[in-house]
With several copies, the nearest count.
Chain A
Amino acid sequence: MMYNEKVMDHFTNPRNVGDIEDADGVGEVGNPTCGDMMTIYIKVKDDILTNIKFKTFGCGAAIATSSMVTEMGIGKTLEEALKITRDDVADELGGLPPIKLHCSNLAADALHKAIEDHMRKKQ
């Protein structure tokens, strides 16, 4: 299989799928042209990510990294969450096929964008 078990688990049973109507921040990355598009919704309380949801159009890796990043982010401070890199997500999943590392591993970016959106709104 091109994906390991953990990736397949997050892909077939993705955590935190959906949207948040009254989200505190929304981050969108990707482009349907590339075959991957993600939207991350966050709820924030006292600088802590209390909830994260995602919607993703994309391949198995795109869905798995989206699911993973929500798990990784929930409970973290905004500052901590901003430090989550693409590589961290891939590592947490136990690795991704090389070809997917660059093109479908956008979930961390989407989370960062959602946090930036939240910070912009707060200002």
Chain B
Amino acid sequence: MKPIYMDHGSTTAVDPDVVRAMTPYFTEIFGNASSLHSYGEQATVGLNASRQIVASAIGAHPDEIIFTSGGTESDNLAIKGIAYRNQDRGRHIITSNIEHPAVLNTCAYLEKHGFEVTYVPVNDRGLLDVESVKEAVRDDTILITVMHANNEIGTIQPIEEICILARDKGIYVHTDAVQSIGKVPIDVNRIGVDLLSISSHKIYGPKGVGALYIRKGTNIEAISHGGSHERGIRAGTENISGIVGFARAMELAQARFDGDCEHLRSLRDRMIGNILKSIDHSYLNGDLEQRLVNNVNIRFSYVEGEAMLLLLNNKGIAVSTGSACSSKSLKPSHVLEALGLAPEEMHGSLRITLGRENTEAEADRVVEALIEIIGKLRAMSPLA
């Protein structure tokens, strides 16, 4: 039977249309955008057009887009770049306790280098309370970095309200929109955010490329040094083929936004409904309303996640037990921990992240497989 990929939160296949857009940039339009000759000029044309596309997709000006090597670099650049440049104004940063490791570990690094970080906890549905963020603000707070949507449980944070409270106090706001882009409407001015990270490989673009939106006038410094690429903020020969592919993926995400969202939401609700209905002692992790249209994260009592994942994999079904990044580490997910779950509940959680190409038939096949597998595992479980 055809395998079923339902791990789009980890990464997505590159859209054939994106591959087509990239192809000429390998062997024909291969110049270095820094070069003065025609080869360089053609590369620059591709680079500029891509910057225009990515900018307009999020309501930004092209000068506000810095291309990076991915979401991780965007997060590092945003947080360190703001922290280092604004440390004379203060050394306090606010974030949440369910951020991606790219944010959490960058914050932890800064803590070792003279900065203080407040990790505002989410509630048991994985949502941040704006009041708690407000209470965490100090005179020396320079940055609030809160993810737009969580990669494990899909909860969408009230980033607009956070921006409002921050603006009054002259605090920069960064949001990691790696998971939300293409699934939640994003206009940087409507949101009011100063910095926003996105990554190509989560939206059917190639891996190894991403962008950081930096609002005009934002005080930020480079974290990598070299040539004067990307307005001196990000050194390194531009990955034109990757950038062109990323831009094409952004364009497709925009064009298909309404259809994608409707399709994903309907699949998601079908799966959540069927699982909760047909499998006893199964519970949704994360808020049902403020939730990414493609995220299904369920905990099943009495069974362990890796075992479920591997048995599903045997049936050709790819899902995840939490953040793909941490799934090889065996540590219980910090996100599920933040929900206040008991350890054995965390261990039994499964993340299903839907994609454009998934069908109702696939959704139903996965639910059936889950029923069988959980039955089998519970039969061997001393807890059940």
Contacts and interface: CB of A to CB of B under 8 A. Distances in A.
Contacts, number: 67
Contacts of B306: 59-60
A57 B302 contact: yes
Nearest to A103: B330
Which size class do A's interface residues fall under? 20 to 34
Contacts of A54: 380
B343 A60 contact: no
Interface stretch (A9-17, A79-87, A111-119): A9-17
Which size class do B's interface residues fall under? 20 to 34
B380 A35 contact: no
A35 B314 contact: no
B347 A32 contact: yes
Interface SS of chain A: helix, strand, loop or mixed? mixed
Given A12-B311, A57-B303, A63 B343 contact: no
A39 B381 CA distance: 9
A63 B373 CA distance: 14
Nearest to B38: A1
A1 B328 CA distance: 12
Contacts of A63: 307, 380
Nearest to A55: B382
B332 A57 contact: no
Interface string A19-39: 000000000100011111111
Contacts of A12: 310-311, 314
Given A35-B304, A37-B382, A57-B302, A99 B344 contact: no
Contacts of B380: 14, 17-18, 54-57, 63
Interface string A52-87: 001111111011000000000000000000000000
B330 A33 contact: no
A12 B343 CA distance: 24
A8 to B, nearest CB: 8
B189 to A, nearest CB: 27
B311 to A, nearest CB: 7
B383 A1 contact: no
Given A58-B304, A60-B306, A63-B307, A35 B332 contact: yes
B307 A60 contact: yes
Closest 7 A/B residue pairs (Cβ): A32-B344, A59-B306, A55-B382, A33-B343, A35-B347, A39-B382, A57-B381
